[in-house]
Amino acid sequence: MVPAPAPAPAIAIAIPTPLRPACDGASELSLCAATVRAALDQLASIHPALYKSICDETGAVRRHINLFVNSSHVRDLAGLDTPFIPGDTLTIMPAVSGGLPCPNA
């Protein structure tokens, strides 16, 4: 008999302020997912506008979006196949640029 697969761990997803309108204003979402890719797939179903802000039409993470599992960037881990353990936090962080020029530059 093949054992049943372990349930996906419960994780939190930290939503930055600019993306909160895409998920009814939530600052954090909770779901169960085994990997970053699985979490994004769930977001595509439950919050499609949020997913479209994170991923392009091919499913790749947009260039201006950074994803962190706890304090580690997913590119330094296993990318979208980075596994979660219970209690992990996936943080979505848009790149920040612009501002005023330095007066001494």
What pLDDT is recorded for position 104? 59
How many structural domains are present in the chain? Answer: 1
Is residue 87 assigned to a domain?
yes
> Which residue is listed with tokens 């936090």?
89
Tell me the pLDDT band of 6, cut-offs 50, 70 and 90.
confident
Is residue 85 assigned to a domain?
yes
Question: Does residue 9 contact residue 90 with C-beta atoms inside 8 Å?
Answer: no
3-state secondary structure (DSSP) of residue 93 = strand
Is residue 8 assigned to a domain?
no
Is residue 99 assigned to a domain?
no
Tell me the pLDDT band of 95, cut-offs 50, 70 and 90.
confident
Is residue 77 assigned to a domain?
yes
Distance of alpha carbon 9 from alpha carbon 29, whole angstroms: 14
Res 16 pLDDT > 60: yes
- CATH code of 33's domain: 3.10.20.30
Res 13 pLDDT > 80: yes
3-state secondary structure (DSSP) of residue 80 = helix
Res 105 pLDDT > 60: no
> Which residue is listed with tokens 């997912």?
33
**DSSP designation for 75:** G
Q: Which domain holds residue 63?
A: 13-94
pTM confidence score: 0.86
Is residue 3 assigned to a domain?
no
What pLDDT is recorded for position 100? 62
